[in-house]
Structure 1
């Protein structure tokens, strides 16, 4: 029987992996590492408080007596500056691996699974060649006549590959690339579903119960892929032992392709809201007026679209659109919407009526909605690489979204949808 170490065990991806390891009878021990104690009661699970921003020596003390055949590294620290983001997250994984080397735990290791994401393809910088393939060239430094910012995923991957090489191939690694993860972790409100659910809830309670799409018109019709945290966890367990998976990077997405034009009417129906018609009365493009009296936002990025680096290869170097800078436009700026007096009064009414968690509102990632709904480009990847090795997992994105909403209802973060529809 095997044992496992999970870092970032209280996050959405990390907690899902811990949950699935707990159910897997082939694992006898699971070490859940995080700063706060998640309060696991199962004797199979052992928590260890660790500060991954600490030194390798500090982590060596924490990890004394802890070893495992499989490591699932899900820890992440956010920062606005790309250089600092690379330094912080690169140092975390580097010091952690050094600590495993110092304690001797590295000698038991068989495979190290690192969770990254679609920023691998620079989707946070604009439109890129799609669908995304794991073999696509990465953008970093001078590429295609442009200077691209550093990417902390690439920094982590280099550190991981170098550490595996030091071991003389005693262990190998796997990198997973999920996209817009749908899941839940107690006390963690940094996820798309929570902010979406809160937006729909308050929209239902506002006069008229309309549910206008906050983002741009092009984004409403663009195609995207999502990743269920549960499906990602199952993939990580599969990839940790799958033959031929070692030293490889894999997209990990649900397997369907979705769009807001399909999901948004479903959201309206679930929360009892009305779909506005027209949805984009002022055009829904950059610098348009806001929806009714809501404040819009237009953000122009300093870089060109990542597609420009591949333009010549694709035969579109003469396309004028490739010269445009990426733009995020929201006809309703989510951050400013959440700060409005009428919205806050309505939220307070709903919160008190159903006894909801105030922290959910305060910590909701409204800024992420600005990006996720304001971009006018698609984010579509392929699962072909993993499927060729035998992966058969699939999840329906709408079903997964509903599952998260139901969990948020049980946890007192969202009100029961049926009660909400009847009360407002």
Structure 2
């Protein structure tokens, strides 16, 4: 059996960590993880440093697939472009000349391509929707790959998930962990679980993407000829409204709900670190730093979407990817994993 050699860039994040786990469970793959901080079995690389990237990746001559899921946050949309484009360019510049058997470069994107972060956008969003006014680093990254691939033997793909559900800690964009932490602290304080977002957000139509489902789709797109040199929306396959799902999530934690109350989690949860430390002692938890479960800014962002937020995932199905996940059950599974790992009580 021919072995594929995967380089997963951004291997510590919600997306990358699940992709590494999925690839390690497949018989035909070897995996190298890459992240800024490194870790067990991972390379520590500063992707913003072209020389460091070239030096650290010079020995990866047998890499066949690059899975790019790295991200650097910045205060404004315009400021996101230079570092996030540079990191991808540095990776390809380092790997392509030495990995003579390179077959595919996979790019992780999102609904920012459709302007979803700016306000109400056309739904369902489709892969061939017209672009919006820049800046947008996802678009620049894809354009770089399209241009770089011309005349080459390797192909590219771009995956566009919605908000991704996973359990990786220390990540600035982890909604499931934020909800679980918010619920656990609310329960500890004896208050009901209130939806903290805008009133319109409680009623908007949404979708999410399970990290395990996304990992399967990413490998499918990287290995299927029908997916070569294309972008695909990857979603769980169902839609929901918080007004129906939120009480069910509260029930999982054994909590009552009360009417929504708009509040900034970044503000109201800022002083809860000492309480979190006491909860860990009281409930015999794993000792996870509060900063590692505090994706409050991202949760505020998601709960502020008072407009429909979903895309058409049928293109991937037409091309051959048919996996789907029920979003409600996804949350229960993720919460259960966090409880099993003693992250939450």
Alignment TM-score, normalising by the size of structure 2: 0.93
1:7 matched to which residue of 2? 9
2:192 matched to which residue of 1? 210
Deviation of 1:272 (Å): 1.3
1:129 matched to which residue of 2? 122
CA contact (8 A) 2:162 2:310 kept: no
Q: Which runs of 5+ in 1 are unaligned?
A: 41-46, 141-148, 281-290, 292-330, 416-424
1:338 matched to which residue of 2? 269
2:254 matched to which residue of 1? 272
Pick from 142, 151, 156 the counterpart of residue 173 of structure 1: 156
2 CA distance for matches of 1:9 and 1:369?
A: 22
Q: Deviations over 1:263-311 (max 9, x none)?
A: 10111101111122xx15xxxxxxxxxx4xxxxxxxxxxxxxxxxxxxx
Pick from 81, 88, 95 the counterpart of residue 76 of structure 2: 81
Deviation of 1:350 (Å): 2.0
Q: Following superposition of structure 1 onto structure 2, how do residues 119-268 of structure 1 map, counting pairs within 5 Å?
A: 119-140=112-133, 149-165=134-150, 168-188=151-171, 190-207=173-190, 209-268=191-250
Q: Deviations over 1:397-421 (max 9, x none)?
A: 1111122112222333211xxxxxx
2:342 matched to which residue of 1? 412
> Which structure: larger Rg?
1
2 CA distance for matches of 1:189 and 1:354?
A: 25
Q: Deviations over 1:119-167 (max 9, x none)?
A: 1111110001100100111102xxxxxxxx40010111111111111xx
2 CA distance for matches of 1:39 and 1:225?
A: 33
Q: Which runs of 5+ in 2 are unaligned?
A: none
Pick from 299, 310, 330 the counterpart of residue 400 of structure 1: 330
1 CA distance for matches of 2:167 and 2:126?
A: 28
2 CA distance for matches of 1:158 and 1:202?
A: 44
Alignment TM-score, normalising by the size of structure 1: 0.77
Aligned residues: 341
Q: Does 1:351 align with 2:336?
A: no
Q: Does 1:375 align with 2:305?
A: yes
2:103 matched to which residue of 1? 110
Deviation of 1:188 (Å): 3.8
Q: Does 1:60 align with 2:42?
A: no
Distance 1:188 1:344, change over 3 A: closer
2 CA distance for matches of 1:83 and 1:379?
A: 22
Deviation of 1:109 (Å): 1.1
Q: Does 1:69 align with 2:61?
A: no
CA contact (8 A) 2:10 2:70 kept: yes
CA contact (8 A) 1:335 1:366 kept: yes
Distance 1:186 1:199, change over 3 A: closer
Distance 1:79 1:189, change over 3 A: closer
2 CA distance for matches of 1:273 and 1:98?
A: 52
Deviation of 1:335 (Å): 1.3
